[in-house]
Structure 1
Amino acid sequence: MKKTALYLFIVFFFVQCASIKKHNKHLNDLIAEEKLKSDVDFTYRKLQELHPNLYWYISKEALDYKFDSLKLTLTKPITSFNFYKKLSPVVAAVRQGHLVVYPPTKLLTKRETKALIKKGTGPFSQFDFELFNEKLYVVKNKSYDKTIQSGTEVLAVNGTKPIDLIKKHNQYYSSDGYNNTFKTNYSGKRFSTFFSNENGIKDSLKFDFKFNDSLKTITIKRKKKDTNGTHSKKIKKKRVLKDKAKSKEIRKKKKVNGYYSVEKNYNRNLRFLEKDSSIAIMKIRSFKIGDYKTFYKESFSKIAEYQSKTLILDLRNNGGGRVSEIADLYSYLADSTFVFLDKSEVVSKASVFKGAYLSGGSFGFKALKTVFSPIMYTYLLLTVHKSQNGKNYYATQTKPHKVSKNAFKGKIYVLINGGSFSASSIISSNLKGSKRAYFVGEETGGAYNGTVAGFMPRVKLPNTNIQIRIGLMYMAPYFKTTLEGRGIFPDMQIIPTIEDRTKENDPEMNWILDDIKSGI
């Protein structure tokens, strides 16, 4: 049995390496017009087969025209990356943030990835960037050059002006609907990805910086790990391990709260302000990793024990995650029995079965899923039903929920911004619609009236090997608004400036704390 497992691992390893080499070898191949046009037709056909609300923000006639016009521009052979730059704006016209065309880029084997990590931290990873008024700024400097201050403007990288590249790549993806806050929030942080997609991964980059009226050009190279620092960390780790109780407590916290090892922070946090713990602050970075049920149960038990009067829920830059988690969290925030979601629309049982269950994964994994496919299809027969309107629906989180035992009864503030997307927008919609919370910040990146997500398989185009992620479920919150295609608007709009970032000032949180004090 062990020999068989080892043999399968070796076979899988070499097949994977061969696949990566084949992919990289043909990255710059010119693809014939007929094959490119075939992939355009394939893309539109798959969208129609799988996407349940394709014409939500664009009419069928308008989208038909865009796909037909795209084919007319394909008059000569081009590379898959140049085809991506033509195809992605058309797909982005659907205005669904979960619908993503992935650029064809060079892939690395596990060995190559390890070698790259060993060489040190890349030049882009040594900074945190944000966009303010169409200018890119360094908001955190983690490089070896400590002369670069927070608030330094990036004028160019290897001669490329950031705003030019950002505007170009902003055509290649979309938010949900018509808001602009999602791209404003997202594009600055993703500038390095845009640059690497165009130019590949670099070991050194030449930055043109501006701070106040001072201009300077600095070349940032890969930053090797500080072995002395690593050694001291190992010593500290040994000290921690000596205290078994403390070590056990840390392991539990990482498991429950969710821990991001790269950023070295927790996905969920609860803290209290004021000596009497009257103000509780819950920061949730995403609804993904960690044991959320235990976290919310313990957190709201503690909030009840401390008799906190105000809860501040921070959902800024929360890109979403599990629907089951936001429904569970809402049960601690709602003031009465609630329905969390409408029934989720899908194209058909086949769209979920073929599009989500059977797609993706290695050959071996696909074979395993085929074996269990009768069980999955039986499940879909029981959960996907055709309504009287002729549409198919998948029922999840649609039954009435009772509020949890320690549901919070006090005042709730919710912090939102353009990075609040997907699941964080859905729970915000219900909190806003039920008038359960007061919102501070800026319009969310996700739409008030729901999104197309849920199962999200990647479909590979047959000739260019470009992958497209397609949401299969139209998920709508119980509460909705008449203003279509916009996010949740704050009751108090506050947008931070670059000065706030450099001074580590939090104007949204400060406003809430002042508002609480003024109401006392």
Structure 2
Amino acid sequence: MMQKLVNVAIIVLISGLVGCSASRQSFDPQHKYTKNQLQQDYRVFRGILEESHPSLYWFTPKDSMDHFFDAGFQSITDSMTEQQFRNVLSFVVSKIHCGHTAVKYSKQFGRYLDTAKIKMFPLSFKVWSDSMAIIANINRKDSILKYGTLVTAIDGYSTRQLTDTFLNYISGDGNSLNGKYQSLSNSGAFGSLYRNIMGMKDQIAVTYVDSTGAEQTVSVPVFDPSAKDTTKRVPGNRIATKPPKDGTRHYSFSARMVQIDTSLSSAYMTLHTFSRGNKLRSFFRQAFREMKKRNIQHLVVDVRTNGGGDAGISTLLTRYLVDKKFKLADSLYAVRKSSKYHKYIAWQPFYWSLMQFVTHKQKEDGHYHFGYFERHYFHPKKHNHFNGDIYLVTGGNSFSATTLFVKALQGQHNVKVIGEETGGGAYGNTAWMIPDVTLPNTKVRFRLPKFRLVMDKDLVKEGRGIIPDIQVSPTQETIRRGIDPKAAVIRRMIMHKIGIAQQ
């Protein structure tokens, strides 16, 4: 009897695996959903945002947001593929001006993209409003479109036409355009949008500026991973594990690194994330202990690639550097605990239960306030606190918890913010609890931030990112020459200060 049960279990398991495999193999990315299915999904999409998003009308007035919602619905005139429907939703979501609200593929479509050999746009760019410089080319044997080459048009579309189009499909905080341009500059982002919005051909016409300053146009093939790949992988840069001879020392991991230069009494700390799982707490403890031991007087904290993570971890770093007590928020609240759309919202019972303990409803506005963060002041750390000169390096990818970190320190007497405007809002953001919503028919997902955080109510109207004290941006020339202009400016500042002190 036991053996029969085992045999039955094996058959069921094999059938499940076969069925799962067949399901993956039979997935059709060009499958079209009916107009009625799409409209049903769209109503759920709009209903949830109008019901539960705390910042839906923060930067876009309700009448304008209603117009965009209506326009999205009216664009569903026939059946659509998932990608086409996702474009509709992304266009509408971008009008909320919330970088934490974004549309995602269905899980099945995501698995398909992970394994499918899809033709790829061959170039990546550093994107500005009206020009682009090449920063990567999959066609490694291309002798024309080299690193740093200025591109002015693709397939006859000018850079301005392309960026003006693509910005309508990118989520971003408030009115920080630099964050959106940086999103276009991130690896693969421009090419993905070009494929999804403009359509991918086998050849693309690239208009570029040659060495004489004249515009030329060349036709280049898209990258086909299903074809025989004769390119060789370029080995990644390896981080030194032994102290170099110049007096610097490296303590490095994939998410964070600190380099100490005793000759300049300086340390360069790079943080790519504040997310958990990267042993950042122990990293900070060890790094600041070492800096104290070596009497380091200049600290660079590079967060230009840091998209955020755990606010508790970013706050810990702030405490090592700040010279006075500080709060994270003037206000932090959600508009509701429960939802009539709860079956579509991941972990809704969990979030409801958690909010029962951490929030209270205020009579004045009817919102559910996270009172602890509205009242609590954090104090500077006493042990191994850094009191020297601090240089914070920011960019368009500096987002979420990273802006909390930078905002708490900007204006302090020994702190300079250097680089570009952050992608994250200087006024605050909408985040904290961010469940996924899955639409019933297409299974397309979108992120639904539950809390609005206001760091500085006086900056909300402007809606910009954190503006650096010293603006330093890459140019075509610095890209072509492989120069990091932000690091170069900071090094000159440190050397100048040391030179003054030695006189």
TM over 0.5: yes
Any residues of structure 2 matched to 1:287-436 within 5 Å, and which? 287-288=274-275, 290-342=278-330, 344-350=332-338, 354=342, 359-360=345-346, 378-389=353-364, 390-394=366-370, 399-404=376-381, 405-432=383-410
**Secondary structure of residue in 1 paired with 2:462:** coil
1:139 has 2:115 as partner:
no
Q: 1:8 to 1:330 in 2, by over 3 A?
A: farther
1:472 has 2:450 as partner:
yes
> Which structure: greater helix fraction?
1
How far is 1:37 from its partner?
Answer: 3.5
TM-score normalised according to structure 1 size: 0.76
- Match in the other structure for 1:186: 183
Q: 1:348 to 1:479 in 2, by over 3 A?
A: closer
How far is 1:191 from its partner?
Answer: 0.7
Alignment partners' CA distance in 2, 1:115 and 1:55: 39
Q: 1:16 to 1:501 in 2, by over 3 A?
A: farther
Alignment partners' CA distance in 2, 1:325 and 1:44: 34
- Match in the other structure for 2:196: 197
Deviates more, 1:448-457 or 1:283-292: 283-292
- Match in the other structure for 2:34: 31
Alignment partners' CA distance in 2, 1:335 and 1:7: 66
Alignment partners' CA distance in 2, 1:161 and 1:136: 10
Unaligned runs of 5+ in 1: 247-252, 260-266, 361-368
How far is 1:92 from its partner?
Answer: 1.7
CA contact (8 A) 1:444 1:487 kept: yes
Q: Tell me the percent identity.
A: 25
**Secondary structure of residue in 2 paired with 1:331:** helix
- Match in the other structure for 2:102: 100
- Match in the other structure for 1:269: 257
Which amino acid in the other structure matches residue 43 of structure 2?
A: D
How far is 1:395 from its partner?
Answer: 5.3
**Pairing partner for 1:52 from 51, 54, 76:** 54
Q: 1:73 to 1:318 in 2, by over 3 A?
A: same
**Secondary structure of residue in 2 paired with 1:171:** helix
**Pairing partner for 2:430 from 449, 452, 456:** 452
**Secondary structure of residue in 2 paired with 1:107:** helix
Which amino acid in the other structure matches residue 432 of structure 1?
A: Q
**Secondary structure of residue in 2 paired with 1:332:** helix
- Match in the other structure for 2:272: 285
Alignment partners' CA distance in 2, 1:447 and 1:5: 54
**Secondary structure of residue in 2 paired with 1:428:** helix
**Pairing partner for 2:126 from 126, 130, 139:** 130
CA contact (8 A) 1:433 1:479 kept: no
Alignment partners' CA distance in 2, 1:388 and 1:181: 38
Q: 1:86 to 1:215 in 2, by over 3 A?
A: closer
**Pairing partner for 1:149 from 131, 146, 151:** 146
**Pairing partner for 2:69 from 64, 67, 70:** 67
Q: CA RMSD for the aligned pairs?
A: 4.1
Q: Over residues 240-298 of structure 1, what are the superposed CA-to-partner deviations in whole Å (9 max), with x where a residue is unaligned?
A: 9xxxx99xxxxxx99x9652xxxxxxx211112351x5121111122225111011111
Alignment partners' CA distance in 2, 1:489 and 1:6: 62
- Match in the other structure for 1:250: none
Alignment partners' CA distance in 2, 1:154 and 1:104: 34
Which amino acid in the other structure matches residue 58 of structure 1?
A: T
How far is 1:303 from its partner?
Answer: 1.3
How far is 1:28 from its partner?
Answer: 3.6
Q: Over residues 385-429 of structure 1, what are the superposed CA-to-partner deviations in whole Å (9 max), with x where a residue is unaligned?
A: 222422102356563333221121112111112222222112111
CA contact (8 A) 1:31 1:79 kept: no
TM-score normalised according to structure 2 size: 0.79
Unaligned runs of 5+ in 2: 1-5, 243-248
Alignment partners' CA distance in 2, 1:97 and 1:397: 21
How far is 1:494 from its partner?
Answer: 2.0
How far is 1:344 from its partner?
Answer: 2.6
**Secondary structure of residue in 2 paired with 1:510:** helix
**Pairing partner for 2:168 from 167, 171, 184:** 171
**Secondary structure of residue in 1 paired with 2:109:** coil
Deviates more, 1:408-417 or 1:436-445: 436-445
CA contact (8 A) 1:155 1:161 kept: yes
How far is 1:128 from its partner?
Answer: 4.3
- Report the count of equivalent residues: 470
Which amino acid in the other structure matches residue 191 of structure 1?
A: F
Q: Over residues 317-370 of structure 1, what are the superposed CA-to-partner deviations in whole Å (9 max), with x where a residue is unaligned?
A: 322222121111111111133333455311233269958xx844xxxxxxxx79
Alignment partners' CA distance in 2, 1:73 and 1:229: 44
Alignment partners' CA distance in 2, 1:439 and 1:42: 42
Q: 1:301 to 1:105 in 2, by over 3 A?
A: closer
